[in-house]
Amino acid sequence: MSTKAKILVVGLNHKSAPVEVRERLAFDTPKVCEALGRLREEFKKDEFVLLSTCNRVEVYCACGANSGTNAELLIEFLSAFHDVALRDFRQCLYVHEDENAVRHLLMVASSLDSMVVGEDQIIGQVKESYRVACGAKTTGKVLNRLFHCSFATAKKVHTETAISIGRVSVAGVAVELAKQLFADISRARVTVIGAGETGELIVQHLLHEGCQDITILNRSFERGRGMARRYGVAAGAWEKLGKYLREANIAIASAGCQHYLFGKAQLTEVLANRREGALLIIDIAVPRNFEPAINEMDDVYLYSVDELAEVAEQNRRVRESEITRGMQIVYDSAGNFMDWFRSREIGSLIGQMKKEFDQMSQKELERFFVGSRENAPCKDVAEAMVRRIVSKLSHCVIKNVDAVAKEHGPAEAARLVDSILEQARQISSETEEQRPNSN
């Protein structure tokens, strides 16, 4: 069991796990709330935020001193909650602790860890995840401060660098891919599936490319029609999705659902009388909207979010120097946060150190006053003398810790106390092992 407070992140993303793994571990909002509730019950003393997007699933945890929570327990929680065997995703996971965990969140919020560097959707998703966790009462002093630090860092990165210039969203990259694969995208008949934030970005990028024949389909027709009116495009009824696919040249899907909208057999039947030539489907939803086997169909070309990677990499290369500047901002912010985080531990660590010193002195006294010396007249005097010596030595150590804090900052002082505490525990352990040989 750890005796130090710590920050953990356990997760997987587009770089570590394919979409077929990510979609099995993805959380929609109701599942996030349910999972946070279970975490609150199972790990009562710790703080949690769950972040689930099309490209990542991550659990952020702030563990108190003496908490039994560790990365393995969180991994097992993910497995049990989604009923997915550990062997199916363990190799895709990453685990970060303390400053590495802080840097990771700051990179995520600043879009430096995104498939499309510079995209601004992720900060909204991070804020929403934090809002939901606050509502579920699974955050506290540490994660509250950490997530607000991530918001401020993201703002600074986007303000002080040029990473947001150009096409910087998954939606934009999807349209860029369609543009590369379709001879004249401005003449294409395009069906946009889903009227959420991503769907709206898709429409914006299509219009920027000169597309004139765009139809939005959404489960809520009113929402789809509202978006269509804002952009001067058409809206279709959800139940006629098959008809619109049959007539489309391009379909770009980002609808939120837990099951495929179309399997191979179903789409084969829908497209049986199609006369429009090839159909390009770009599925950027997670979980996916279209069964992967659809790509085996004649004249149907299906791309998932993971297959946008090459276009996204072109985007990244253009921003390489800006990414370096953004990373420096992240490292500076993470360092400042860790100074605060470690400074919180000094009082607790000093208390633990003094307790360890007292236990060591007591063990030594017990080892000395055995056998014929057990009832020695000087025992009480010796015990009092040893306690005074230990108290004075502890005071000397604390004065040096205060000096380090003033000269090098509280984080360095906390590291010093932690180092002394670990050495004291090691010495105490060695003494225990030697006890049989000392009598």
Q: Which residues have a catalytic role annotated?
A: 54
The answer to whether the beta carbons of residues 14 and 56 sit under 8 Å apart is yes
Give the closest residue to 191 by CA, choosing from 237, 135, 125.
237
Report helix angle 141-160 to 99-109, nearest 10: 50
Amino acid letter at 358?
D
- At 376, list the tokens: 């020695």
- At 344, list the tokens: 């919180």
Q: Outline where DSSP puts E strands in 66-144.
A: 94-97
Rounded Cα–Cα distance for residues 115 and 1 (Å): 36
Give the closest residue to 121 by CA, choosing from 71, 161, 158, 83.
158
Residues counted in the chain: 439
Rounded Cα–Cα distance for residues 212 and 276 (Å): 17
Q: How far is CA 309 from CA 12, 315, 403, in A?
A: 16, 10, 51
Going across the sheet that includes 47-52, the strands are 47-52, 56-63, 6-13, 94-97
The answer to whether the beta carbons of residues 312 and 115 sit under 8 Å apart is yes
3-state secondary structure of 303: strand
State the alpha helices, DSSP H only, in 161-208: 170-181, 197-208
Q: For residue 225, what are the contacts with CB-CB under 8 A and spacing of at least 6? A: 235
Tally of helices (H runs) and strands (E runs) in the chain? 16, 10
